[in-house]
Structure formats: C-alpha cells, structure tokens
Structure 1
Amino acid sequence: MYWWTGTGYIVVKRGRHLVGKPEKPKSNTLERICILLLLLFTGFVLLNSSFFYISEVTVTGNKSLTPEEITKAAGIPIGENIFRINLRDAAARVKAIPAVKDVRLARRLPARVAIMLTEREAVALVSGRDGFYGLDEGGVCIRKVNAADPLPILTGVGIAPLPGGDLTTEGFRTAVLVLKSLDGDLISGLAEIHITPLRSVEAYTTEGVKICFGRPEELAEKGKMLCGILKEVEDRKVVYIDLSVTKRPVVKFAGQGVHESADNAPVNAAGGPLSGSDAGGTVSVVP
C-alpha cells in the first residue's frame, strides 16, 4: 500500500512504514532513436539528391567585372550539391579581386547560388612603375588603366601600388578632399590635380586653365566659388584662376595682366569685377 505525504510515498508493508522517492518517468529511448535516424536520413538526402545539384550561378552588382571573372574566382562548380559548397570561402575568393569592395553569397534553393557584390569605383589615376592605375577614394589600387581615361591624374601624391595595394600618403588624401569639394561636371573637366612639396593644391583643366587652390583649407567654399567663376567666363580664354585667398579670388585672361579685387568678387584685367561686357553677367561667388 502506498500513501503520498507531500514529500514522498509511504510504503506500508507488514506494519512497517518505508519512505520512497517519487517515481521518474522512463525516457522514451525508442523515440529518440527514431528522431536521430530521421535527421540522418534527411541530411543524406539533402547532400546526395540530384534535386539540389547546382545548375546556375548568378551575379548582380558588377559593372566593370564580367560575370565570368566573378564566377571563376568564386570557384563554385556547376553540378555540385548546393549544401556541400562553403559560401564563406567562395566569398573570400571573390573579395580578393581588387575591384570588389563587398560581396555576399546566398543559396537559392533548389539549385541556384546568387553572388551579390559592390565594386570599387576609381576616382582618379595615379602613375605607377609601369603605367597609370585607377584608385578609389580610400586609396585602394583597382587596376591598370589607359592614360586616356577621363578621370583626373593625381601628381605629387606618391607612386601607385600594384592592384590590391593601398596608397595612404597625405598628398593622396588631400587630393581626394579636393575632388569631394567639386561637383561631377567640374571633375570631368579636370585633367590633373597636383600637390606641391609645400602641400598647396594646383589643378589643371582639360583646356589648360590653371587653378590655384592654395592650402587645402575651406575647400567646399573654394569649390562652389570655382564653379560659379567657370560658368561666368566659359566663353572667354582664361589662363588661370587663383583661389588661394578665398575672399580675394583672381582670374587672369589671355593677353591681359593680373589684378586682384578688394572684396570677394573675381576681377578682370582692368581691375574691375567680372560683370557687364566682361563676363556677360555678374559672377556669383559664395562668400
């Protein structure tokens, strides 16, 4: 006979009371074995079924790189089981391409692998030991390019490394800041940006106009001012524009002398502001 006391069972047997522990439910060993076998069978099917053999590798986000270049670097064979490939290793192989900034791989069941990447974009050209190389704004060398590429050439910033390497000189960082201060149309009209040994900035347009930025200070303001000046004098032959002193920009026209203004307006060769017959309108300069 059993009697529950709240802390255990009392077993009454031949006049003696024995205290026993609560009985534990027996584990269902058979159920656990079945679950384990089911998991093993499922894994076997996933890893060996032809239903999951890779039939396609797609690439998105590429611009200069071809899908063939990317899939070759990834090393994902067509016909391999989609669960057997190591996506992390494949991504690392693609990321090793200098032109690739970021990449992500994903399985698209049942039989497709998607490669999604972001390419680096060259902002300028820098001379290397055997030609010109395109570098992104972080200084990463992307690839060797033709000197006829429309991007501006940076000089006085050091020698370009081989593709995949970094250029981290102060001169390069300064040149990038200058580029960021200019709008796209203005950048497309630049042929060169030069950093002098004294760390002042000079630029040359594709038409041969020299632009003196002076010290790399107030670049955003100088960029806006330069844009306004070029719009006003686009129909005249300009030799150079000096923005070294932001409040007193100077413009020199071909065949004329150099004059400075006393305020923040560019001047012409006669010492007056660029307005009326000189530039066809008032030059707008952001003070």
Structure 2
Amino acid sequence: MSRTHFESWQDSPPGEDASTLDHVHVHPVPASRRRKLFLRLASMSADRALAPFRIRRLLFMFAALVLAIAVLGAALAILNSPLLDISRVEVEGAHVVSAASVKQLAGVKGQHVLLADLEAARQRIRALPMVKEVEISRDWPNGIKVAIVERAPWGRWRANDTVWAIDSEGIVLEGPAPAYDGPIVTQVSALPAIAAGAQVDTTALQMANELHRRGAPLPLPAVLSYEWSLVDGLVVVTEHGRIVFGGADGLDFKYTVWALLEEEAQGRGEPLLFADLRFGLRPSVEIGLNLGRGVLNREPHTAHFADNTESPSREASSAAASTR
C-alpha cells in the first residue's frame, strides 16, 4: 500500500495562509482499512458483551467438577462402608425345602449389598429339586430377601420299587409320594435313571390320568396298572393282557379301537391278550383263551408263555387286520 500524504497549513511556510495553498492533497482511508477497523471495534464490543457469560460458564464448570468429586467420594464411602455388608437373609415360601439350605446356597452373607451376585445365587437355589421358581431382591440397607415357589406333587411314578412324587413338569421330587386316588405309572425300562431332580415323561402321566378317568371301555376286564418304557411308551395292563398305547397322539382313536377289540374278543368268548394300538387302522392283536398261562413278555411283537404249550391263536378284529 502506498504511503498516505496529508499536507495542511501546518506544513506551509510562515506567513502564508493555508487556505490559499493549492498544493494541499487529502488522500481518503482505503475501504479495506476501514473494514478492518470496524471489525476490530465490533470484536471488542462482542468481547465486552460475552465476558459475563464466560465467567458464569467457568463458575458452572467449576461447580460441576466439585459436585462430581463429592459424588465420587460419597460412592467410595458407601462401597467401603461395613454398614452395607449383608448380615441377614430372609427366606419366604419354604415349607418342604430347608430354609437353612436356601441361605447356604445363596452364599451372599458378608458380601456388599450392592456388589453381591444375586443372579448366581438364584441359579444355585433354583437347582434344588423341590424349587420351581426363585426371586431374590435387596432388602436395604444390609439384607437379602429370597422368595421361592416349591414344586407341588401332581402324579406318581414307580421305579426301582420306589414310588416317586412327580410335579406337573415331570420333575421327580424328594421324599415319599403322597397318597391320592390317581394312577401310578410304573417304569419298566432301566432308562432314564430315576432320582430326585430327574425328569420323566409327563405325557405318560397325562395319558394315564385320562384313561383312569375314562376307565376300561367295558366293565370287564378291569384295568390293573399302567406301565411305561422307552420302547413301548404307555401300556395299560388289564386282567386279560396288555394294551400298548405308546404316545398321546390319537388317544381318542386308540381308545375306540381298544373298545372294538374288547367287544369282538368277548363276542367270541375269548380274552384280548395283547393289542398294539400304535399302527392306526392295522393294530397288532392277539386274542385267545390262553387257559392256565400268563403273558410274561413285555415286547409288542412277540408273546412268551410260562409253559411250553402252543401259543394261542392270533386273530384280527373286524375293524383291524393283524400285522403279526
């Protein structure tokens, strides 16, 4: 930028009137310089206007920092306070299950109430055979509350000469099974191994209860017991023989076929010794007098008798042909 010259009367020789000097030159301030000056003045004004806001912001940040430090200190004090160590465990809903066992399995006594792993404690208690549901909550300031729902006997399952109580989910319960009018399902296969906490086939129990409710299709022969195995499923043992139902599919149809077979056998004056109803319209059937002999075999496709005499005749009912 060229140098600005400003000559006025102050530069004129003595004795001369400055107004008469025609060589006075006035150079205006360039626009860019005026703009810079304006912006500088505006910036100074803005800084003065924002100064209180900046001070308030700094004060707020300082207060927030002090508060955060105070909260952190309080949290550390709480975490290290022995007043929040768990000193009591309350158990609700324990009637058959030992409350002492529940407290021991919880394993939270002496731990900090905020740091104790309640989910792990719940899983340990849930593993008890008689416990169906568990809820654990903190009981401030230094306690834990455990609420359990015990399993209730729903059916009876005989295995290894022991009658076990079974709940509605098929879980084998501890202790002797309560006496009631419902049927007992006898497991005749070695597997699954039965012990408290094991699970059995609830479908077989449901079928036995339903068949027990309906009763035998005819007044005779009477139903003696219900058996279950991995191979055959549910088997109804009557005074004359064995009726294999298998699974629960088509229960009504199987019951109807059983009734027809009993009617045909009695119409011939012979007992229904065996019927496997798992094959739909083609059940495996054995009808005969079988005098002086008892069926010992539990397999669905063969029959074995106590003596060496010839096995009875095998005939299909009028509603189903024999598959033997």
Whole-angstrom CA distance in 1 between matches of 2:103 and 2:224: 36
Please state how far the C-alpha of 1:60 moved relative to its aligned partner.
Answer: 1.5
Aligned pairs for 1:242-253 within 5 A: 245=258
CA distance in 2: counterparts of 1:245 and 1:46, whole angstroms: 73
Q: 1:164 to 1:214 in 2, by over 3 A?
A: closer
Is structure 2 residue 37 aligned with structure 1 residue 15? yes
Does the CA contact (< 8 Å) of 1:203 and 1:211 recur in 2? Answer: yes
Q: How does 1:34-183 map to 2 (within 5 A)?
A: 34-77=66-109, 79-122=110-153, 123-127=155-159, 133-143=164-174, 145-146=175-176, 150=179, 152-156=184-188, 158-167=191-200, 172-179=201-208, 181=210
Do 2:185 and 2:205's aligned partners in 1 also have CA atoms closer than 8 Å?
Answer: no
Amino acid at match of 1:105: I
Q: What TM-score results when the alignment is normalised by the length of structure 1?
A: 0.53
- The aligned length equals 208
Give the match for residue 32 of structure 1: 64
Displacement after TM superposition at 1:46 (Å): 2.8
Distance change >3 Å, CA 199–CA 51, structure 1 → 2 = closer
Equivalent-residue separation in structure 2 for 1:136 and 1:108 (angstroms): 31
Q: What are structure 2's unaligned runs of at least 5 residues?
A: 1-33, 216-222, 264-268, 272-324
- Cα distance, 1:138 vs. partner? 3.1
Name the CA shift for 1:50/1:247 in 2 (closer, same or farther; >3 Å). Answer: farther
Q: Per-residue displacement from partner, 1:26-67 (whole Å, max 9, x unpaired)?
A: 453322222222222332343344543434211122232011
Contact 2:172–2:198 (Cα < 8 Å) also in 1: yes
Counterpart residue identity of residue 186, structure 2: L
1:220-239 to structure 2, matched below 5 A, reads: none
- TM-score, length of structure 2 as denominator length: 0.48
Kept in 2, the 8 Å contact 1:61–1:119? The answer is: yes
- State yes or no: 1:201 paired with 2:235: yes
Change (3 A) 1:85 1:191: farther
Distance across 1 between alignment mates of 2:241 and 2:65: 80
Letter in 2 for 1:58: E
**Relative to total residues, which structure has the larger helix share, 1 or 2?**
2
Query: How far apart are the structure 1 equivalents of 2:86 and 2:159?
Result: 43
Bigger-Rg structure (1/2): 2
1:188-239 deviation per Cα after TM superposition (whole angstroms, max 9, x unaligned): xx995313755453268xxxx89987634676899xxxxxxxxxxxxxxxxx
Match of 1:227 in 2: none
In structure 1, what residue type is equivalent to 2:102? Answer: I
The answer to which structure has the higher strand fraction is: 1
Superposed CA RMSD: 4.5
State the partner residue of 1:7.
none
Taking structure 1 as reference, are residues 155 and 248 closer, same or farther at Cα in structure 2, changes over 3 Å only? same
Alignment deviations for residues 74-98 of structure 1 (CA, whole Å, 9 cap, x no partner): 1121x54322322112112212223
> Contact conserved, 2:108 with 2:116, CA < 8 A, in 1?
yes
How far is the alpha carbon of 1:155 from its aligned partner? 2.0
Whether the 8 Å contact between 1:214 and 1:244 is mirrored in structure 2 is no
Q: In the aligned structure 2, how far is the partner of 1:57 from the partner of 1:176?
A: 38
Amino acid at match of 1:194: E
* Superimposed CA distance per residue, residues 113-163 of structure 1 (whole angstroms, 9 cap, x where no aligned partner): 1101222334323425x96654434333444x44x7537343246433444
Cα shift at 1:72: 0.8
State the alpha-carbon separation in 1 of the partners of residues 111 and 240 from structure 2: 59
Q: Percent identity?
A: 18
Deviation at 1:13, TM superposition (A): 8.3
Q: Measure, in 2, the Cα distance between the counterparts of 1:245 and 1:119.
A: 39
